[in-house]
Copies of this chain bind each other. A is one copy, B any other.
Amino acid sequence: MRTTLRDVAELAQVSPKTVSNVVNGYIHVRKETRERVEQAIAELNYRPNLSARSLRQGRTGVIALAVPELDQPYFAELARHFVAAAAGHGLTVLVDQTEGARDRERLVIGGIRDQLIDGLVLSPLALTAADLDERTDATPMVLLGERIHHGPADHVVIDNVRAAREATEHLISLGRKRIGAIGSQKVAAGVTARLRLRGYQQALKSAGVSADKNLVASATRFHRADGAEAMELLLAQKPLPDAVFCFSDLLALGALRTLASHGIRVPDDIAVMGFDDIEDGRFSTPTLSTISPDKEQLAAQSIELLNAQLNGSAADRGPQEVYTNYELIARESTIGR
C-alpha cells in the first residue's frame, strides 16, 4: 500500500499539517521538527501524491524530456512533437541534454530536479538496468528507445530488429548481393546498434545472401562525420559493396557525401538505406530511402504513459512496453528516379 502523509505524521509524531508544511517547504517549522519529518519521509520512502502536491501550490505542470543531443535532427524532431503533445495536456517541457553519458543519465533519473518536475521522459544511451533498479527517486518516468527492455519503467519502443531486417530485405529485393552496414558499435546487447545489426544479419541469412564481415563498418556515434568516414573504409574493400544499410539517416547522409566525392553513382553503383526519416533525407541529392518511425505517435504514447502515472491510473499495473509504428520509405538512394 502506498505511504500516505498520515503515515509520515504518525511516525514523526506530528500533525499531518506539519508534514504538509515541511513538504511544501514553509520556513515556519522548527528545525528539529523538520528533521524528524524528513527522517520519517525517508524511512517510509514517502512520495507526496497528487493531492499533496496540489497542496504544495499544485503540480508544477513541467515534465522533463532528456535526450542525448538536441541538435541531432531525430531528437530535435522528436522534441518538437513531444512539446506539442505535452502542450495538449497543459504541460510544459524542460529539455535536457545528457550527451548519452551514463553519469548524466544517472543524475537525471536520480531526481535532481524533483521539486521542479512532475515527470520525466528519458531516451537513455548508456544507462543500465542496474542503474534503474537502484533508482530511489519516485518521480514518474517513461523511457524511450530500445535500451533496457523489461526494466522497471514504462517504455516506448520500436521493433528495431524487425525494422532493420525489412530495410535490408528492401536492398536484397533490388538484387543487391554485397550489402554492407554502417553503424556497428561495441555495446551491450539490447542497444540500438546491436539490434539493427541483428536485423541486418537475419535478413542476409534468410535470403541466403553471403555476409562479409569486412562490409560491416563501425561508427563511434551516429553522426554525418562517422558515416562519411565509415564509407571511406567500405570503399577500400574489393569487390566494392553494391548496397549499404546505415543505422541512422545521419550516417547515410555522411556516406552519400563520401560517395559523391568519389564520383560513385547512387543507387546505380551503390544503393544507400538510412533509418530515422529526418527531414534532411527528403531533400538530399539523391533523396534518402529510410525507415520512418512514427515520431508523433511515439511522443503521444510517452505522454500518455506518463499521464497515467501522474493521475494515479497506472498504480495497479506493472511497467508497460508500448510499440510505435514505423514504415519503410523507398526514395532515390535505393530505387533511383
Binding site for B on A (CB under 8 A): 25-26, 28, 57, 60, 62, 69-71, 73, 76-77, 79-80, 83-84, 92-97, 113, 115-116, 224, 228, 253-254, 256-257, 260, 279-280, 282-285, 287
Contact = CB atoms under 8 A, between A and B. Distances in A.
Nearest to A79: B70
Given A79-B95, A95-B95, A284-B284, 10 more contacts: A28-B28, A70-B70, A71-B77, A71-B279, A73-B73, A92-B94, A92-B96, A224-B283, A254-B283, A285-B285
B95 A93 contact: yes
Contacts of A60: 116
B77 A92 contact: no
A166 B77 CA distance: 32
Majority secondary structure of chain A interface residues (helix, strand, loop or mixed): mixed
Nearest to A95: B95
A337 to B, nearest CB: 9
Contacts of A256: 283, 285
A76 B83 contact: no
B283 A253 contact: yes
Contacts of A96: 83, 92-93
A199 to B, nearest CB: 25
A94 B76 CA distance: 14
15 contacts: A26-B26, A70-B79, A70-B95, A71-B73, A71-B79, A71-B80, A71-B279, A76-B76, A224-B283, A253-B283, A254-B283, A256-B283, A257-B283, A257-B285, A284-B284
Nearest to A282: B224
Nearest to A62: B116
Contacts of A284: 257, 284-285
A97 B71 contact: no
Contact of A94 (B28, B70, B95, B282): B95
Contacts of A95: 70, 79, 83, 93-95
A64 to B, nearest CB: 9
Contacts of A26: 26
A301 to B, nearest CB: 19
B57 A25 contact: yes
A83 B57 CA distance: 28
In the complex, which of the residues A62, A69, A260, A279 has the most CB atoms of chain B within 10 Å of its own CB atom? A279
